[in-house]
Structure 1
C-alpha cells in the first residue's frame, strides 16, 4: 500500500457493548468527516449487513468480510487467542494491517484479547520489549498524551524511555509539535524521589539530548489535569488507575452539577441562563470526546475504542485512527527509537586507547 493510496481503516464491527449498530453508526460519522477514507469491515454477515444497508454512503466506500467468530467482552485473552485466531472479526481486522489491506485497525472489543492478538499478529518493533497503550487526556491547556494506560504492569528504565520516545512521536504527529515536552509520572518532582527505574530513566533522558522531544523532568498526579507537559509517561498499572480515576471523577462532577442545577426553581433558572457554558463543560468532561487508545510499539497501528462508547465516541476513535495513519506515526516512532539507541550506544562506547610505544622504537 503506497502513501498515495487513500487511508483505509479496518474495523472489528462486532466489538463493544452495543455491537454493529453503534460501531457502524460511528464509522458512518467518520466517513462524512473524511470522504476520502475507505473501510474494511469484519463481522458476522447476519448482524452487520442489515445495519450497513442503512448507511448507503458508508457501504459505497466499504468492503465487507464475513467472520464465523466474534470475541466476547468477557473472554480471557488466552481463550480468545486460541479460539479466535484466524477466524474472528478482531483477528482479521488486525491482520488486514499486517497484509497491507488497511493502514490501521480499530476495535471496541475486549482490551486484553485485542492486545494479545495484536502482539501475536503484528509483533513488536525492533528493540521494543513491551507495547504501550497511549490515551489522549483533556487538560486545562488543551490535550496531552498519557502512556501506558494498561498494556503492561511494571516497567524498567529502558521501557519507560521507549514509552517516552513513542509518546513523543505520537504528540508530534497528533499535535503538530516539533519538540513535545515529556515528563515521567512520579511521587514528586525532586530527582531523589521515586523508584530506581524511574530515576534511572530520568537520568538517561536528561543526559541524552533528543531532537524529537524535550525532557521536562518528573511530574506529579496533579500535573495531568494542568497539562504541564505534552506527554506523561508511566507504567500500565499506575496509568490505568489514573485513567479510570479521571473518568470516574468527571462523571462524579457531572452528577453533582446535575443534582445542584435541578434542586430548586432558582437553580433551574440559573442553569437555563448559563446553559451554553454548562454544555461546553459537559463536552470537555465527556470521555467520548477523547475516545481511543493507541497501541504503540507494534509493527502496525491498532486503536482501542471504549466498549461502552456511543456513535460519537466510536467516531472519535475512527478519527484518531485516520489521523495516526495520515501522519506516518510508525515511521516517526521507528526514527526516534533508532536515533535514541544510536546516541546511547555512541556515548557508552569507550574512547580508543592511545597506541603503546615500546622502548627503543622509532618515534
Structure 2
C-alpha cells in the first residue's frame, strides 16, 4: 500500500542538514513503506544523502536556501512561509504533496505556519501541542497542551482530551486510555471554574473512547497512573520545563557524585548497567516528537538539539500517525462529544420552555 510522503524541513534545528538527513535515514529503515520530501539547500542535502542510498532512492528534494531563525519572531517568519524550508514543508501537506511535515525549527513559527496553512479540523477551536513523556509504569503519558494556547476554556479542554485520547490509543493500543485534567488537587472542589466545567462535561460524555478519571497533580504525571494529562498551554509548558529540568538535575547530580572520589568511581563501574538504564529513560531524544493536534494534517516538532536518533523518533511519530489515521480518530471522538452537547442543550432548552409555560 502506498502511503503519503513525509516532508522534512532539512534546515531546521541546531545541528543542521546532516543530523536531519541522518535521522530521516534511520526512520526510513524503520518505516520502509514511506517516501520523503526533503526541503532545503539541494547541494547540502545531496551531500548528506551520499551515505544513505536507501533514503536517497525514496526521496525527492525541494530546493530552498531560506531558513527560519531559531529566535525569529513568528509573525515575521509567517510572512516568509512561501520561501523558507519550514514553510514549504508545511505547505506541502496543505497541497497534498505530503501527508505530514517534520521540523526541528522555531516552535512558534511552526505553529503559526501550520495553523494558517492547514487550519483546524471541524469541531476544534484551537490546535494543541502534545508530547510523550516517560513514566514509571509500562506506558508513556501524552500531555497537552504544552504551549500552543496560554489560556483554555472548558470547551477547549474537552477538545484537548478527545485529541489526546485518540493519540494515546495509537501509542498504547488501549481502547479507553485513562484521561485526567491537571489540577492543584484531586478533590472535585479544587481548581478554576473552567476545570470543574470541563470535568463535568467529560464525566457526562459516556460514549467517548476514554476513561475520564478526574484530576491529577503535577507530581503524579510520571507515575504511570494516567495515559493522558490535559491542561492549558501556560500550565503545561511550566510543568514540562520543570520535569525536564529535574531530569537534567538528577543526571548532573549523579555525574558529580560518581566522579567525586576514587571510591565513587568504583561504585559507578559496579552500578553502570543501572545508571545507563536511567540515562536512557531520561534522554529526551528517546521521546522526541511533539505533535500539533487538531489540524487538517500532521505536523511534528522535533527538539532543536535532537540527535539523529531523536530526529528519527520524531519522523517515526509522523509515520505512525499517518499509518493509524490520527485525524479520523479525532473526528470520531469529536462527533461523540458534539452529539452529547447537543442532547444536553436540547434538554436545557426544553426545561426552559416548560418553566416559561408555567
Same fold (TM over 0.5): yes
Deviates more, 1:50-59 or 1:255-264: 50-59
State the partner residue of 1:123.
119
Could you say which residue in structure 2 is the equivalent of 1:324?
A: 321
2:294 aligns with 297
1:103-122 correspondence runs (5 A): 103-122=99-118
SS at structure 1 position matched to 2:134: strand
The CA distance in 2 between the partners of 1:247 and 1:51, in whole Å, is 31
Q: Output the CA distance in 2 between the equivalents of 1:79 and 1:52.
A: 31
Which residue among 203, 206, 214 is the counterpart of 1:209? 206
Aligned to 1:168: 165
- Secondary structure (helix, strand or coil) at the match of 1:308 reads coil
Q: Do structure 1's residue 199 and structure 2's residue 226 form an aligned pair?
A: no
The offset of 1:12, in angstroms, is 0.5
Please, which of 70, 80, 86 is the counterpart of residue 82 of structure 2?
86
Farther-moved stretch of structure 1 (215-224 vs 52-61): 52-61
Deviations, residues 91-146 of structure 1 (Å, cap 9, x unaligned): 11112212222221100000000000000000011121111000101111131100
CA contact (8 A) 2:286 2:313 kept: yes
Q: 1:241 aligns with which of 229, 238, 241?
A: 238
Instruction: Pick the aligned partner of 2:93 from 91, 97, 108.
Output: 97
Q: Are 1:275 and 2:272 counterparts?
A: yes
SS in 1 for 2:140: strand
Larger radius of gyration between Structure 1 and Structure 2:
1
Measured against aligned partners, the alpha-carbon deviations of 1:34-83 in whole angstroms (never above 9, x if no partner) come to 2222111100223322112232221111110101421111111000011x
More deviation, 91-100/345-354 = 345-354
Three-state SS of the structure 1 residue aligned to 2:318 is: helix
- State the Cα distance separating 1:273 from its structure 2 match: 1.7
1:181 to 178, 182, 195: 178
Instruction: Output the CA distance in 1 between the equivalents of 2:117 and 2:184.
Output: 37
Q: Which runs of 5+ in 2 are unaligned?
A: none
Instruction: Verify the 8 A CA contact 1:292 1:317 in the aligned structure 2.
Output: yes
Question: Which secondary structure state, in structure 2, belongs to the residue aligned with residue 101 of structure 1?
Answer: coil
Distance 2:151 2:96 in 1: 33
Find the counterpart in structure 2 of residue 307 from structure 1: 304
Q: In structure 2, what is the Cα distance between the partners aligned to 1:291 and 1:5?
A: 26
How far apart in 2 are the matches of 1:46 and 1:101? Answer: 22
Q: Secondary structure at the match of 2:291?
A: strand
Post-superposition Cα deviations, 1:9-33, rounded to whole Å, max 9, x if no partner, equal 1100000111101111111111122
Query: In the alignment, which of 132, 156, 173 is matched to residue 153 of structure 2?
Result: 156
What is the TM-score of this pair, normalised by structure 1? 0.94
Which residue in the other structure is 2:37 paired with? 40
- Cα distance in 2 for residues equivalent to 1:211 and 1:66: 44
How far is 1:275 from its partner? 1.3
TM-score, reference length from structure 2 = 0.95
Residues 1:286 and 2:283 are matched in the alignment: yes
**Deviation readout 1:306-362 (Å, 9 max, x if unpaired):** 0011111111111111111111101000111111111110122134989xxxxxxxx
What is the CA RMSD across the aligned residues, in angstroms? 1.4
The 2-side partners of 1:7 and 1:125 are apart by: 19
- Find the counterpart in structure 2 of residue 73 from structure 1: 70
Distance in 1 between the 2:49 and 2:68 partners? 20
- Specify the alignment match of 1:359 in structure 2: none
Q: Which residue in the other structure is 2:142 paired with? A: 145
Tell me, which stretches of 5 or more residues in structure 1 are unaligned?
355-363
* Contact 1:174 1:324 survives alignment (8 Å): no
Q: CA deviation at 1:7?
A: 4.5
Show CA shifts across 1:241-300 (max 9, x none).
Answer: 111111111111001111111122221112112211111110001111101100001000
Check whether the contact 2:2–2:33 (CA below 8 A) recurs between aligned residues. no
* 1:338 corresponds to 2:330: no
Provide Cα deviations, 1:217-262, integer angstroms capped at 9, x if missing partner. Answer: 0110111011221000000011111111111111110011111111
Contact 1:8 1:104 in 2 (8 A): yes
Once residues 85 and 255 of structure 1 are traced to their aligned partners in structure 2, the CA distance between those partners, rounded to angstroms, is 40
